[in-house]
Amino acid sequence: MGGVDASDEVLWRRVVNGDGDAFGVVFDRHHDRVLRHVLRLMGMHTVSEDVTAMVFYEAWRRRAYVRMVEESILPWLLVTANNLVRNQVRNERRYRRFLSQLPPPAPLGDVADQVSDDDERVGEFAALREAFARLRPLDRDVLTLCVVEGMALKDAALVLVVAEGTVKSRLSRAKKRLGSLYEEAATLSERRMDGVHDGR
């Protein structure tokens, strides 16, 4: 009882009391799942590993305030991951803004031969990540829990501490908003790529 086969809730009661071994079991149980989620959002493995580590750091730091859903900590971890990814994207945007003020690098010559279907896929993933990052936090969380994780509305409502009806209406609006933002981001990305390919 209370070992590797115990539920998250049982283990977390020990974690709240400072039990590092119990925390290690929870970490091992959910690390890969959280990392896959962050990777989908970030697309870069090194940064995703860092963000995943921060998710578990936050879980330990705020262990007394973690909320379980059906004895699982995973929904809380995923929502925390969304918040940290949002912060990371904001920091990267600031960094890119800074870089954009620097003189452009010398041209490398014609790179058209190197551009392939991979270029298009990278653009699509980047557009989707950008669209997801531009959603309101609650919209991101609702999509993560209900669409990515396939969680029931009532369970998502428990994690987000809102009414089930709010989750339902927010989910519908979030899907439409994500589609709209994705189209905008994809169009902008295409224009950028056309500019690169045309040498503009």
Q: What is the pLDDT of residue 102?
A: 47
Are both 15 and 83 inside the same structural domain? Answer: yes
Number of domains in the chain: 2
Are both 136 and 179 inside the same structural domain? Answer: yes
Are both 64 and 116 inside the same structural domain? Answer: no
Q: What is the reported pTM?
A: 0.62
Are both 134 and 197 inside the same structural domain? Answer: yes
CATH assignment at residue 88? 1.10.1740.10
Q: How many helices (H) and strands (E) does the chain have?
A: 8, 0
Of the residues 41, 72, 102, which one is the last residue of a structural domain? 102
Are both 132 and 196 inside the same structural domain? Answer: yes
Between CA 38 and CA 47 the distance in angstroms is 9
Q: What is the pLDDT of residue 110?
A: 47
Region of residue 40 (left: phi > 0; alpha: psi -120 to 50; beta: else) = alpha
Percent of the chain's residues with pLDDT above 90: 36
Please write down the long-range contacts of 107-114, taking CB distance under 8 Å and 24 or more positions apart.
Answer: 112/197
| Contact between residue 183 and residue 168 where contact means Cβ atoms under 8 Å apart | no
Are both 87 and 33 inside the same structural domain? Answer: yes
Are both 82 and 116 inside the same structural domain? Answer: no
Are both 56 and 138 inside the same structural domain? Answer: no
Q: Is the per-residue pLDDT at 150 higher than 70? A: yes
Stronger pLDDT, 107 or 37, i.e. the higher one: 37
Are both 120 and 45 inside the same structural domain? Answer: no
Between CA 113 and CA 179 the distance in angstroms is 32
Residue 75 parent element (H or E): helix 74-100
**Least confidently predicted of 47-56, 146-155, 161-170:** 146-155
CATH assignment at residue 175? 1.10.10.10
Of the residues 38, 73, 102, which one is the last residue of a structural domain? 102
Q: Is the per-residue pLDDT at 79 higher than 90? A: yes
Of the residues 102, 128, 155, which one is the last residue of a structural domain? 102
Q: Which amino acid is at 194?
A: D
Output DSSP code: residue 113.
G
Q: What is the pLDDT of residue 117?
A: 52
Print the domain residue range for 67: 1-102
Between CA 67 and CA 86 the distance in angstroms is 21
Q: Report the chain's C-alpha Rg in angstroms.
A: 20
pLDDT in tens, 93-146: 765 665 565 455 444 444 444 445 555 666 677 777 788 888 888 888 888 888
Q: Residues 173-185: what's their mean pLDDT?
A: 86
Q: Which span out of 2-11, 14-23, 134-143, 145-154 was modeled with the highest average pLDDT?
A: 14-23
Are both 1 and 57 inside the same structural domain? Answer: yes
